[in-house]
Amino acid sequence: MFPTNYKKYRYPWGYLKLLKSRHTYFDHLKVNFDKKFFLNFGGHQTELSKLRDVHKGKRCFIIANGPSLNNVDISKLRNEITIGCNGIFNSFDEWGFHSTYYITQCPEATEKRSKDVEALVGPKKFAALHTSPSFSFLNDVVFFNMPVRGEMRYYDNKDLYPQFSRDFASIVHIGASVTYTMLQFAYHIGIKDVYIVGLDHNYGALSEVFPPGKIKITEDNYNLVKKCHYDENYYNIGDDIGVPHVKQQERAYKHARDIFLMNGRHIYNASGSASKLRIFETADFNKLF
């Protein structure tokens, strides 16, 4: 239930926060101080429902966190619809703008950054329900329903995995990467053409030395970890991270590609030649503007 880097003494309070977030996900009687009516019904599920097709027919850019992001003229995305994730907000000040939306789902990564996410001003913020113990009891994060199915037998089950949600407000399916979650969100808000930048799909020796799962960053493996992100200081020694399920990611990406195509939509990989992902049609980032 709790991330590996969650202090045990916080378990009771964390469980209460989890119950609270599950309650607020569904419609419930609540107080509105800035609305015409003092009391009304509403929950996070309703907030997510209101976003359905809000950008229908438009394009968006998913900003991943791979090293190839350093090869992108990010300033060109200033006026685009963008979806960011994880620690990308650390670059907002440098960029001079923020992503339109922000998503986090990994328990360990969210626990590491929860205070910064709460303080983040600008993007609409979304987090998986199971990460709610890492946030303050009162926060401005919108939670989405992502059943936790982290055991390998789920990923290996051809009948259950992968699945793709066409209604982000009801359920969101795991796909071994936050990029898959962002694709489901993009579909929900009506995006026709998705362009992904910074998706290298290249974890170097990290995925060769360690099996998929959670590991702690040490002095011995730190050099392997820092090569996987656009910022070498993205993680620090002592942090808990997940070694990716590469094959499961690819299965999920293929499924997302097919769902988009079936509905007259497209996913493009605009990460450049550094990306090893060949599942999506490639696009030249500089020719998109």
CA angle, 20 then 21 then 24, to 5°: 90
Per-residue model confidence as pLDDT tens digits over 129-167: 999 999 999 899 999 999 987 667 888 888 899 999 999
Cα gap 252→155, rounded to integer Å: 10
pLDDT at 153: 81
CA-CA distance, 31 to 196, in Å (whole number)? 39
- Mean pLDDT, all residues of the chain: 93
- Output the pTM of the full model: 0.94
Check residue 121 and give its pLDDT: 96
Question: Of 236, 222, 271, 211, nearest to 87 (Cα)?
Answer: 236
CATH number of the structural domain 8-288 = 3.90.1480
Burial of 71 (0-12, 13-18, 19+ CB in 10 A): middle
With H, G, I as helix, E, B as strand and everything else as coil, classify residue 121: coil
- Are the C-beta atoms of 69 and 63 separated by less than 8 Å? yes
Quick: pLDDT tens for 232-242: 889 999 999 98
Q: What is the pLDDT of residue 168?
A: 98
CA distance 257 to 252: 9
Kindly state the helix (H) or strand (E) to which residue 161 belongs, with its residue range: none
What are the 10-residue block averages of pLDDT along the chain, 289 residues in total? Answer: 90 95 84 59 89 98 97 97 97 97 96 96 97 95 90 83 97 96 98 98 90 92 92 91 93 98 98 96 97
Predicted pLDDT of residue 52:
98
| Token pair for 136 | 């303050």
Identify the three-state secondary structure at position 221. Answer: coil
pLDDT at 37: 55
